[in-house]
Amino acid sequence: MVPIATLHYLVVAAALFVLGVIGVLTRRNVVIILMSIELILNAVNLNLVAFSRMWGNLHGQVFAIFIVVDAAAEAAVGLGILIAFFRNKETINVDEIDLLKW
Amino acid sequence: MNILTSYFGSNLPPGNAGNQLWALIYVFIIFAGVAVAVLCMNWIERKALAHFQIRLGPMRVGPHGLLQPFADALKLMLKEDIIPAEADATVFWVAPVIGLLAAFTVYIVIPFGPSQAVTDMNIGILFMLGVSSLGVLGIVTAGWASNSHYPLIGALRSSAQMVSYEVAMGMAIISAIMMTSMNAGGIGTLSMIGIVQAQQQQGIWFIFKFFPLGFIAFAIFAIAMVAETNRAPFDLPEAESELTAGFHTEYSGLRWSLFMLGEYAAMIAVSSIAVTLWLGGWMRPFPNLLNGPAWEFIFSLFPALTFGGLALITFIGTARMPSQSFFRIQRMGLGIFAVLLGFIALLLLLIAVVGHSNDASIAARFREGIDYVYWFIFKVAIFMYLFIWYRATWPRYRFDQLMSVGWKVMLPISLGVLILTAIVGVLIK
Amino acid sequence: MNPLLMNPAVNAGSAPVATPFFFYFLAGAAVVSGLFVITRRNAVHSALALIVTLLSVAGLYLMLYAPFVAGVQIIAYAGGIMVLFLFVIMLVDIERVSKERQYNRVWPVGLLAACALLALFVSAIVKGRSLLPDRMVQLPESSNTQQIAAALYGEAGRVGQYTFAFEIASLLLLVAILGAVIMTKKKI
Amino acid sequence: MNDEKTLDPKMIASKPLDPKTIAERVPGTAGSSLTRPNAASSNLDLDAPDKPYLDSNELIINMGPQHPATHGVLRVILKLDGEKVLGTECVIGYLHRGIEKIAENRTYTMFNPYVDRMDYCAAVSNGLGYCEAVEKLMNVEAPPRAQYIRVILTELQRIASHQLWLGTHALDIGAMTPLFYTFRDREEILKIFEKYCGARLTTHAFRIGGCQYEIYPGFEKDVKNFLTFVAPKIDEYETLLTTNRIWLERTKNVGVISGKDAIALGVTGPVLRASGVKWDIRKAVPYANYSKFDFEIPVGSNGDTYDRYLVRMAEMRQSLRIVEQAINGIPEGPIMAKVPKVIKPPVGEIYHSIEAPKGELGFFIVSDGSTQPYRLRVRPPSFVNLQALDLMVRGALVADVVAVIGTFDIVLGEVDR
C-alpha cells in the first residue's frame, strides 16, 4: 500500500472544495450555501495543515486556526443577515434575494 | 504474552506507549465501568433522594431495591420505542446516539492514574471540552426532531444554557491551566495527566493555589458544571413542571435510557474534570504533608477499609432483614453480596499489605494502581453525591435568572479570576 | 471516534498511526458526508452531515500531527458554529423550504463551472505530484500546543510572529458579534 | 387601604323570595354588587393567521390538560414570544361533573357528600359551607358542641390544604423535598379525620344540623398531640424555603396583583390578603362560632407569589391557634340540632359563604319548598381566582405561569364542579 503522504490529503481537500463549490453554485437555500462555504474553508484548512506537515513548520496550522476564527465570524454575520432577511421577506431562497433594499 | 505483560512495565498510559491492545482493554474497562457507575448512581440517587425526603425509595426489587436499576434497564429495553408520526425519524434516531457518544468519548483522556488512562493527549482538556460540547448537538437535534413545542423549547433552553455556561467554565479551566505553568520549567500543559503532575510537582492542589483564586475558579467550575449537565437547580431543559420533560418528552424506551445514560456519563465526566484540575486527580490527600512509608501504608488501606465498611453495612442490613420466609431469598442474596464485598475488601487488604512489604513485587504496582484509581473515584463520588444533594435541596432557577447568573455573575468573576491568576503568576515568577 | 486513532505516538519512533486504513476511512466519511451536505433537502440533515465532515477532518488533522487544530476544529466548528447553524435552521421555516425547488435555475452552469474547477485541480495534482515528497516530516506532536502558542503569543519576552494577526482576528470576531446582534435584533 | 370598605358584609343577602320570581332570578351569580370589568377576559387572538416565526416570534402552546404543573386538568393556552407570555387563555371543564345540576335531583341530605368532591383537598370545608347554608335556609343552628367540632376539623383541614398547596407549589418551582415533608405531616391530619369519620379525603364529616358522629375517645389528645407535632414542622418548611435564595428569586415580584385588581376580579382568600386587603369571612361575617376565637388575619403587602406564600404559612399558624382554643373550650351537649328527618326548607333563597382554605366558598341555594333544591349555585374560590391568571402572568415567563398557577392553589374539581 502506498504510504499516506501530502498528495492524498490534497486529493481529499480538492474533493471537499469542489463539493463546496457545487453547493454554493447550485443550491437555493441560503443555509446550505453557508454550510457549503464551511466545506470550502475546511478543504483549505486541510491543505494548510497537510502542507504544514510537509514542510515541518507550524505556519500552516496557525493559518488554519485563523481560518477557523474567520469561519466563525462569517457564520455569525451570514446567519445574522439570513435572519434579518427572513424576517422581512419570509424566504431563505437565494434567488429571491434580488433587491438591494427591502 | 509479551504484549499482555508489556503494559505493567510501562509508566505511560497504553495509548501513549503505543500499546493498542491495552488501550482497547482500557476502553472496554472504562465503558463497562461507566455503565456500572451509572447503574449504581441510579440506585444511590433514588435511595439518597428518598432518604432526604423521608421515604424509603426502591425496596421491592431485590434487597433494599438493589436490583432496581437492572429492572429499570430491562423495562426500558422491553418498552415500546415510539417514534412520533410527524417526527423526523432519522434525526430522532441519531440524536440520543450523538449525546451518548459525546458523553462517552471524553473518557478516553480522563486520567484515573498516571498510567491508568486510555491515552494522554497533548490537548487533553481541550479535547474534553470540545467533545463534551458536542453533547449539545444531541439535545438540539432531539428537540427539533420530535416536532413538538415542548421539546423544542427545552432544546433551545438547554443549548442556550450549555453554550453560555461553557464560557464561564472555559475561563475557570484556563485559570487552572495557567497554574500548571508555575513549575520550574515554566511551560504549562493541556494534558490531563500533565495537569495532575503539575500539581504533584508544585506540591499543592490547584484549589488551594493562590488562595482564594484557585478556589473561586473551582467554585465557578463546580457551578457551571451543574448547569452544563442540566441538573438541578439548573435543570430547566428538563423542568418537569414547566416543559413536562424538556427535549426528551417524546422519547421512550431504550432511546430515552440512552439520554439518561449520556446525562449521567456527562456528570461523571465533568466531575472528573473538576477533580483533575483542582483536586489533585489521583493523588491521595496530603501527599506532601503526610509522606513516608507509614503514611503511604495507612492511606493504601483506604480502599480495603471502604469495601470493608460497605461489607459491614451490608451484613448489618442482612441481619436486620425481616425474618419471614418470604424474605429468605432476598436475605441470601444480600448475604452473598456482603460476602462478596468482604472478599474484595480482604483482597485489597492483602494487596496493600503485600505491596507494602515488598516494593518490587507486582503487588506493589497493583497497590499503586488501586490507590490512584480509588482516590480518583472517591473524589468523583463526592461530586456525584453533591449532584444528588443539590437536587434535593434547591428549587429551580428561572430561565432569565439562569442566564443572568451565567453572564452577569459567573462570567465577570471568572474573567477577573483569570486576569488575577495571570498577574499573580507573573509576579510570583 | 476510535480511540486508537488518537494514539499520538509521543515517543518518536513508535509505530506510525497514520495508517492507510484510518486515512481512507476518514477521507471517505468526509467526502461522502460532504456530498450529503449539498444534496439533502432538509437543512438539518445537511447540518448533521456537515458535522460528520468536520469531525472526520478533525481526525485527519490528528493524523497530520496537528492536535491543537483538531481540538479547535471540534470545539469551535462542531461545538460552536454548527450549534449556531442548527439554531438558525430551527428558527426559520424549513418545513416549507424543503418542499420547494432545491436547485437554482442555472444549476447546470454552476455544475459545469465546478467541473472545470475539478479539472483544474486534477491537472494541478497530476502535473505537480512529482514536486510533493512521498514521506512526510515527523512533527513533534507533544509540544504542538506550546509551539502554536509561541507563534501566536510569542515566547521568552519576544512578540510572536502572528501576535498582531491574532489580535486583529479577535477584533474581527468582535465586529462579527456586534454585526450579528445588530442585524438580528428587532429593536436595540 | 380603603379597599376594604367596598366589600360590605351586608351585601350577602338572605331575604326570602317570591316563588314566582325565583325562575327569573336563577341564572347569574349572587352576593356581590361588584361590577367585573371585561378587561380581564382574554384577548388572545387564536384565530389570527399564523405569522412566520421570526417576525413575531409568537408561539402558541398548550399547557395541559395533561401537564404536570396544572394541578389536574387545567388547560392554559399560552401565547409566547420566546419565553415571554403575551397572553393566556384558560380552558376549563375537563373535570366537569355537573355537580350543580346533580343537586337539583338530589335531596338536601343526599347532596351533602357531593360537595366533598368539589374541592377534594379541603372536603371538610366544603361540607361546612353546604351544611351551614342549608341550616341558614332552614333557620336552624347547630348546637355549640357541634360548632366546635366543626371548627376544629375545618381548621385542621385548612392546615392540610395549605400543606398540600405548599408541597405542590414548591414542587412546581422545582423544590422536590418540601412535598414529602408536607405530606408526612398532612398524614397526621388525615389520620384524625379517618378516626373521626372513617374517611380521609372525601370525609362527609358534617350533617345538616350538626355532626353525625360524636368525637371519638382520645380525639382531644390526638389533636393536641398534633398541635405540638406540627408547629415545629411549619418552622421546618420555612427553613427550607423562606430564605432560600432561589425560592426568593422565583417568587418575589412574580405574579403581582394589586389589591384593587384583586377585588375587581373577585379574587378572595390568601391571594386577596397577600395583596394587602384584610378580608377574611371568618372575621367579616363570622359563622360557626368563629367570633369566639382569637386569631389574626395575616396580610401581605406586595401581592406577589412570595407574599402569598408567607400569608399561607402565617395562616397555618393562626389555624393552629384556633384549633388550640377550640379543643380547650369544647363544650358538652348535643351534637345535632333538631332537624326533621326529611329536610324541606321553606321557600326562599340563601347565599352563605365561608372562608375555605382557597378563598370565599359560597353556596347560593334556591328552595322551592320541596326536598330538593330548585337551584344550587356554588361560588368556588378557585374558579374565581383563576380569572386573575391572565393579568398576573402577562409579560412574565413560562416558568412564572407555573409558579402563579401553583400560588392560586386551584383545585380543578372545584373549578369545573
Nearest CA-CA distance, residue B149 and chain D, Å: 7
Nearest CA-CA distance, residue C141 and chain A, Å: 11
Nearest CA-CA distance, residue B154 and chain C, Å: 13
Enumerate the residues of chain C whose CB falls inside 8 A of the CB of residue D54: 91-92
Write out the residues of chain D at the interface with chain B, using a CB-CB cutoff of 8 A.
59, 61-62, 67-69, 83, 170-177, 179-181, 184, 241, 244, 246-247, 249-250, 397-400, 402
Enumerate the residues of chain D whose CB falls inside 8 A of the CB of residue C92: 53-54
pLDDT in tens, D210-222: 888 888 888 888 8
- The answer to whether residues D408 and D387 touch, using CB atoms and an 8 Å cutoff, is no
Chain D contact for C183, CB < 8 A? no
Contact C90 B156 (CB under 8 A): yes
Residues 47-66 of D with CB under 8 A from C: 52-54
* Residue of D50, D76, D180 to mutate for B, most B C-beta atoms under 10 A: D180
Contact B156 C87 (CB under 8 A): yes
Classify domain A29-94 at the CATH topology level: Helix Hairpins (1.10.287)
Of the candidates B32, B191, B37, B185, which has an alpha carbon nearest to the alpha carbon of residue B114?
B191
Average pLDDT, chain D: 79
A/B Cβ contact: 3+ pairs below 8 Å: no
CB-closest option in B23, B155, B187 to C3: B23
Identify the pLDDT of residue C186.
67
Identify the pLDDT of residue B184.
67
- The answer to whether residues B175 and B188 touch, using CB atoms and an 8 Å cutoff, is no
Contact B241 D171 (CB under 8 A): yes
Task: Give the lowest-confidence range in A92-101, B124-133, D226-235.
Answer: A92-101
Strand partners, D354: D361
Q: Is B271 helix (H, G, I), strand (E, B) or coil?
A: helix
Domains of chain C by range and CATH? 1-100 (1.20.120.1200), 143-188 (no CATH)
Enumerate the residues of chain C whose CB falls inside 8 A of the CB of residue A87: 186
Enumerate the residues of chain A whose CB falls inside 8 A of the CB of residue D54: 83, 86-87
DSSP secondary structure of D13-64:
------HHHHHHHSSS--S--PPPPGGGS----TTSPPPPHHHH-EEEEEE-
Identify the pLDDT of residue D2.
42
CA of residue B84 relative to chain centroid, distance: 33
Chain D contact for C156, CB < 8 A? no
| Angle (nearest 5°) at CA B388 between B140 and D188 | 120
Q: Minimal Cα distance from D51: which residue of A?
A: A90
DSSP letter, residue A56: T
Name the pairing type of β-strands D373-379 and D75-81: unpaired
Enumerate the residues of chain B whose CB falls inside 8 A of the CB of residue C11: 16-18
Chain D contact for C88, CB < 8 A? no
Cell numbers placing B99: 449525546
Enumerate the residues of chain D whose CB falls inside 8 A of the CB of residue B399: 83, 397-399
Nearest CA-CA distance, residue A99 and chain C, Å: 17
pLDDT at D50 over 70: no
Please name the residue that has the C-alpha cell 437543512: C43
Nearest CA-CA distance, residue D320 and chain C, Å: 54
Identify the pLDDT of residue C93.
64
All chains having 3 or more CB pairs closer than 8 angstroms to chain C: A, B, D
When pLDDT is cut at 50, 70 and 90, the band that residue D57 belongs to is low
Higher pLDDT, D32 or B334: B334
When pLDDT is cut at 50, 70 and 90, the band that residue C171 belongs to is very high
pLDDT in tens, D133-149: 888 888 888 888 888 88
Task: Give the lowest-confidence range in B358-362, D145-149, D252-256, D368-372.
Answer: B358-362
pLDDT in tens, D402-414: 888 888 888 888 8
pLDDT at D35 over 50: no
Identify the pLDDT of residue D251.
86
pLDDT at D16 over 80: no
Residue B366 falls inside a structural domain: no
Sheet of strand D75-81: strand arrangement: D58-63, D75-81, D84-91
Nearest CA-CA distance, residue C85 and chain D, Å: 15
pLDDT at D7 over 60: no
Q: Minimal Cα distance from D53: which residue of A?
A: A87
All chains having 3 or more CB pairs closer than 8 angstroms to chain D: A, B, C
Identify the pLDDT of residue B239.
64
- Complex ipTM value: 0.79
> Residues 6 or more apart from D111 whose CB is under 8 A from it?
D102, D103, D130, D373, D376
Q: Minimal Cα distance from B399: which residue of D?
A: D399
Enumerate the residues of chain C whose CB falls inside 8 A of the CB of residue B155: 90
**For the whole prediction, is pTM greater than 0.90?**
no
CB-closest option in D67, D174, D249 to B232: D174
Nearest CA-CA distance, residue C38 and chain A, Å: 5
Identify the pLDDT of residue A44.
92
Nearest CA-CA distance, residue D87 and chain B, Å: 16
Report how many Cβ contacts below 8 Å link chain B to chain C: 117
C/D Cβ contact: 3+ pairs below 8 Å: yes
When pLDDT is cut at 50, 70 and 90, the band that residue C32 belongs to is very high
Identify the pLDDT of residue D41.
42
Identify the pLDDT of residue A40.
92
* CATH number, domain containing residue D209: 1.10.645.10
Strand partners, D61: D78
Chain D contact for B361, CB < 8 A? no
Contact A83 C179 (CB under 8 A): no
Residues 45-74 of A with CB under 8 A from C: 45-46, 49-50, 52-56, 58-59, 61-62, 64-66, 68-74
Contact C169 A25 (CB under 8 A): no
Enumerate the residues of chain D whose CB falls inside 8 A of the CB of residue A83: 54
CB atoms near residue B339 (< 10 Å): 14
| Total tally of structural domains belonging to chain B | 1
- Euclidean distance between CA atoms D153 and D131, whole angstroms: 14
Enumerate the residues of chain C whose CB falls inside 8 A of the CB of residue B189: 145
Write out the residues of chain A at the interface with chain D, using a CB-CB cutoff of 8 A.
83, 86-87, 90
Report how many Cβ contacts below 8 Å link chain B to chain D: 84
DSSP secondary structure of B131-191:
HHHHHHHHHHHHHHHTTSHHHHHHHHHHHHHHHHHHHHHHHHHHHHHHHHTTSSS------
CB-closest option in A2, A10, A16 to C125: A10
Enumerate the residues of chain A whose CB falls inside 8 A of the CB of residue D52: 86-87, 90
Element housing D308 (H / E): helix D305-328
What percentage of chain C exceeds 90 in pLDDT? 7
| Total tally of structural domains belonging to chain D | 1
pLDDT in tens, D83-123: 778 788 888 888 888 888 888 888 888 888 888 888 888 88
- Where in the sequence is the domain holding D361, given as residue range(s)? 3-416
Tell me the average pLDDT across D53-64. 63
- Where in the sequence is the domain holding B232, given as residue range(s)? 16-55+63-294+374-428
- The answer to whether residues B125 and B190 touch, using CB atoms and an 8 Å cutoff, is yes
**CA distance readout (Å), A81 to C61, C180, C182:** 31, 7, 10
Tell me the average pLDDT across C47-60. 90
Q: Minimal Cα distance from D82: which residue of C?
A: C91
Of the candidates C55, C56, C58, which has an alpha carbon nearest to the alpha carbon of residue C66?
C58
Write down the domain spans for chain A: 29-94
Enumerate the residues of chain B whose CB falls inside 8 A of the CB of residue C142: 122
Identify the pLDDT of residue D200.
86
Residue B351 falls inside a structural domain: no
- Euclidean distance between CA atoms D285 and D269, whole angstroms: 14
Write out the residues of chain C at the interface with chain B, using a CB-CB cutoff of 8 A.
1, 3-4, 6-11, 14-15, 42, 44-45, 48, 51, 67-68, 70-72, 74-75, 78-80, 82-83, 86-87, 89-90, 141-146
* Residue of C23, C97, C174 to mutate for A, most A C-beta atoms under 10 A: C97
Tell me the average pLDDT across A66-94. 83
Tell me the average pLDDT across D25-31. 37
- Euclidean distance between CA atoms B255 and C88, whole angstroms: 26
**Digits of tens for pLDDT over chain B (429 positions)?**
555 566 665 667 776 666 677 778 888 888 888 888 888 888 898 899 888 888 888 888 878 888 888 888 888 888 888 888 877 888 888 888 888 888 888 888 888 888 777 878 788 888 888 888 888 888 888 888 888 778 887 888 888 888 888 888 888 998 888 888 877 667 788 888 888 888 888 888 888 888 888 889 999 999 988 888 888 788 876 666 666 667 777 888 888 888 888 888 888 988 998 998 888 888 888 877 777 778 888 888 888 888 999 999 988 988 888 888 888 888 888 888 899 999 999 888 888 888 777 766 677 777 888 888 888 899 999 999 998 888 888 888 888 888 888 889 889 999 999 999 888 888 887
